Amino acid sequence: MAIGGGGSVKTLVRIGVLASGRGSNFEALLRAEHSGDLGATVAVLLSDHADAGAIEIARRHGIPAQHLQLLGRGRIAPEDEAAIVRCLRAHDVGLVCMAGFMRLVGRTLLEAFPGAVLNIHPSLLPSFPGLHATEQAVAHGVKVSGCTVHIVTHRMDAGPIVAQVAVPVHEGDSGETLASRILEQEHLLYPQAVRWWAERRLAVSGRMVHVLPAAAAREVTT
Ligand code: GRF
């Protein structure tokens, strides 16, 4: 099944970004859009933290930003997800990008955006899912870690893998030093994966995500 793309060949995919914190991946998507390398446009930023750096970045770039007041912790309550879906639809969003969003999404959001919710994680999944991935990697003694963009499913950090980049773990690395080297690669990988999605170049078959050549994607789109 080919996923992705806008309503028509000429319509740019509109992205809704969910971010809880600093927002450097959100900003990397904006930078890629501005340099014409995203093939999509960032339409709205939603954050569950009123003081998130991502909200400040959105303001600086003139992107609408909304603070989500969510119930509880962990998995988002269905009524909150319904409100998120309404907000994303109001901004005509076709692709949802989780970028350091510290809550688990469920059925309501995933069914509203089938195959259209991506996440970036700072490890080579399926190794080291969940919190503190780089600390887990250092503690485990792996020599190579990296980052992963995957399609979000209801299971945390377990959806089909779109793209990965390996990053060596250096002698003496801490979780923090490894995270900062991985982050540089995240900022390149996420825009690339979004671009593939926007160009309808991703074909999903079970757990496998195939990246189609650009010409084949054009045939699917037209
Ligand atoms: C990134 O390392 C991302 O992979 C993880 O959370 C971190 C978010 O960083 N999910 P930022 O807010 O994008 O700077």
Residue 222 has pLDDT above 50, yes or no: no
What is the mean pLDDT of the segment spanning 101-108? 96
Q: What percent of the chain has pLDDT over 70?
A: 95
CATH superfamily name and code, 120-149+159-222: Formyl transferase, N-terminal domain (3.40.50.170)
| Active-site residue identified among 91, 121, 132, 150 | 121
123 ligand 1 Cβ < 6 A? no
At 72 the pLDDT is 86
Q: What is the pLDDT of residues 50-60, one digit of tens each?
A: 999 999 999 99
CA nearest ligand 1 atom 14, residue: 24
Mark whether 210 is an active-site residue: no
122 ligand 1 Cβ < 6 A? yes
Phi/psi of residue 210, each to 5°?
Answer: -100, 135
Pick the CATH number of 9-114 from 3.40.50.170, 3.40.50.720, 1.20.272.10, 3.50.50.60: 3.40.50.170
Q: Annotate 87-126 with b (16+ C-beta within 10 A) or e (fewer).
A: bbeebebbbbbbbbbebebeebbbebbebbbbbbbbbbbe
Most distant CA pair in the chain, distance = 52
Query: What are the residue boundaries of the structural domains of the chain, listed by start?
Result: 9-114, 120-149+159-222
Q: What is the pLDDT of residues 32-82, one digit of tens each?
A: 999 999 999 999 999 999 999 999 999 999 999 999 999 888 999 999 999
At 29 the pLDDT is 98
